[in-house]
Structure 1
Amino acid sequence: MAREQQFLSRVRAALSTLGPAERKLGDLVADFPGELASYNASELAALAGVSNATVTRFVRRLGYASYEAARVDARQELVTGSRLYAVATTADTSDTAAYISRDSHNISQTLGAVDMAQVDRVGTALLGARKVWVVGYRASAAFSAYLHWQLTQVIESIVAIPGPGQTMGEHLASMRTGDMVVFFAMRRRTAQTGALLRQMHSQGVPVIIISDEGMETDPQAFWHVHCQTSSPGPLFSHTAVMGLCSLIANRTILVADRAGRIRLAEIERLNDVLDEL
């Protein structure tokens, strides 16, 4: 089992075997595993309404030598794992204000850290590529499809992958050094993410990585942008990801200049001919 799933999987597997006090603690941790990552043993015991001895027995039941060893795994999942790790039991989500504030913060922090000159260099590189590959799994597939759709306005040879029934090996075999890859790596990332990126780097294909804030920066990437995804609710916020996609698409269209306008005009003409709009 992948390490990022280890702690929560252990808790869930143990619940049915626990006595009343340990089960009370186990239920709390299963619902809000971030609490164990955030609190020391005494604080967690007080939060669950159990004794320190119960906390000690509980972590040993999970197979850890100590509370601190369990916290190490929980902290790892706090960075890479489920949204359960980021939900506080006291979060006030009774109105829209908390969501507006957090989403605005995420967009501001993400786009505010972006160098516009770098965005234009990315646009230039995308426009000059032999082929652009936009990669996304799980939740990232939606962002891949969106950016692909927007960039199609000015880039003819662009594809969102993998498609249904496709393997990445089929696409990797077709990638060349003159291509560009836009790789969405939002949580939860697939187990093969690292292997895919290493393979693309080894083939000399420039890769733009758009990830959440928890992913370690890839020094071999053409550009690696970390999007803020925190939320007051149980799901990750992806407003900053969409904002970044919008920025990249708009600047790429502007960088395309006259050639881009010609293609856009032809697309509009054909839409009128086919009565598609």
Structure 2
Amino acid sequence: MIHALKPTTDLANRIARIYPSLSNGHRRIADHVLGFPLESATASIEVLAERSGASNATVTRFVRALGYASYGEFRVALSDALRLAMQPVDDFADARAMTESASGTFIAALKMQRANIEEAMAALDPASIAGLVAAILGARRIFIIASGASHHVASFIEDGLALYCEADVVFATARGGPERAFRHLNAAGPGDLTIAISVPRYSRTTVQLASHSREKGATVVALTDGPTSPLAPIADFALFAPARSPLLPNSPTAVFALADALITAIARERPDAVEALKDLSRSLLWTFQH
């Protein structure tokens, strides 16, 4: 079953919070809403009850358990959640209609990426950067969590930090599902550091794992798109990389740029960085073409 409301929305978060405590009847309604949100948003209470195998009274109790005063208020929230889920598709259609040529699209994308990087640079605070670099260099272990498109940024950071940091670097979400990542992070504690990476539409798993790390006492670093991200209030340090794109759901360019800059700053602070690069070059010499 494809859950169209998987992106972080108020309604999806409300369902996720109470789902473990729901009765079987309420779970059937929740599953139906998550699996068929468009149908549910246009259904009367009688139709939703029939299609989820519940009664009208059960639907009413489910709606109130989510914190909505009425079924009408619930339908408005569901419609809002659908708009958020479909926004990238709508933006894609609008931008495609406005594009005159392939080359025009190409140049527009580069300009947007440049604007994203410039905005990311403008948001940087020197004192915060210094504190972040010191925290990474002083960490006992570094856990990295990301999914979707952010997975590639996480792999890049993992390779860079493993080269320049003495800490063990663990890409916790690289293999297996969330359960495996939670097992990794159960070992986190004071002295450890977790880097969480997510841009719209935000990964609920990444946000939950970041919260779990903070609860365990680890320092949390967020690499995300802005202060309204759900990762921002969790983080001890945050790097903001706007991810706007004229046609794609998001652009990773600014996120990669910040990741590259962070690794570069870490390398500068390591007096043995040159030797580390020499060792790497010697070990890989046979793989080079020239």
How does the TM-score come out when normalised to structure 2?
Answer: 0.66
Structure 1 residues 104 and 170, CA, compared in 2 at 3 Å: closer, same or farther? same
Residue correspondence of structure 1 range 1-277 to structure 2 within 5 A: 2=5, 3=11, 10-11=37-38, 65=72, 70=76, 73=78, 75=80, 83-87=88-92, 89=94, 92-93=98-99, 94=101, 95=104, 96-156=106-166, 157-165=168-176, 167-213=180-226, 214-216=228-230, 218-256=232-270, 258-272=271-285, 275-277=286-288
8 A Cα contact 1:210 1:226, kept in partner:
yes
Instruction: Provide closer, same or farther for how the CA distance between residues 77 and 112 of structure 1 changes in structure 2, counting only shifts above 3 A.
Output: farther
Name the CA distance, whole Å, in 1 between partners of 2:35 and 2:176.
31
When structure 1 is superposed on structure 2, of 200-209 and 119-128 the one drifting more is: 119-128
Report how far residue 193 of structure 1 moved: 3.4
| 1:208 Cα offset (Å) | 0.3
In 2, Cα distance between the equivalents of 1:232 and 1:82? Answer: 12
1:162 Cα deviation from its structure 2 partner: 1.7
**1:183 partner SS:** strand
**What is the Cα deviation at residue 154 of structure 1?**
0.6
Shift of 1:78: 5.8
The answer to whether the 8 A contact 1:77-1:85 is kept is no
Q: CA RMSD, aligned part only?
A: 3.3
Q: What is the rounded CA distance, in whole Å, between the counterparts of 2:208 and 2:41 in structure 1?
A: 32
Q: Which one scores higher on RCO, CA 8 angstroms, separation ≥ 6?
A: 1
What is the TM-score when the length of structure 1 is the normalising length? 0.68
| Structure 2 unaligned blocks of 5 or more | 6-10, 14-32, 44-69
Does 207-216 or 99-108 show the bigger shift? 207-216
Listed one character per residue, the Cα deviations across residues 146-203 of structure 1 (whole Å, up to 9, x for unaligned) are 1111222212421222232351222012223111111112233333334322221111
Q: Alpha carbons of 1:102 and 1:173: their partners in 2 closer, same or farther (altered >3 Å)?
A: same
| Offset at residue 13 of structure 1 (A) | 7.2
Matched-pair contact (CA < 8 Å) for 2:243–2:252:
yes
Is residue 197–residue 206 contact of structure 2 (8 Å, CA) maintained in 1?
no
Contact 1:140–1:184 (CA<8 Å) still a contact in 2? yes
Whether the 8 Å contact between 2:188 and 2:217 is mirrored in structure 1 is no
| Secondary structure of 1:189 counterpart | coil
Change (3 A) 1:119 1:179: same
The size of the alignment, in residue pairs, is 226
Q: Distance in 2 between matches of 1:112 and 1:77?
A: 33
Question: Structure 1 110/8 Cα, relative in aligned 2: closer, same or farther at 3 Å?
Answer: farther
Return the alpha-carbon distance in structure 2 between the equivalents of residues 212 and 77 of structure 1.
Answer: 21
CA distance in 1, matches of 2:242, 2:35: 24
Measured at CA, do residues 109 and 81 of structure 1 come closer, stay the same or move farther in structure 2, by a change above 3 Å? farther
SS at match of 1:133: strand
Give how far 1:242 is off: 0.9
Q: 1:82 to 1:147 in 2, by over 3 A?
A: farther
CA distance in 2 between counterparts of 1:249 and 1:216 reads: 24
Contact 1:147 1:245 (C-alpha < 8 Å) held by counterparts: yes
| Change in CA separation of 1:127 and 1:171 when aligned onto 2, cut-off 3 Å | same
| Residue 8 to residue 75, structure 1, CA distance change in 2 (3 Å) | farther
Distance 2:259 2:183 in 1: 26
Q: SS of 2:171's equivalent? A: strand
CA distance 1:122–1:8, shift in 2 (3 Å): same
Identity %: 19
Report the alpha carbon displacement of residue 230 of structure 1 after superposing the two structures with TM. 1.5
Shift of 1:112: 1.7
Q: Report the counterpart of residue 46 of structure 2 in structure 1.
A: none
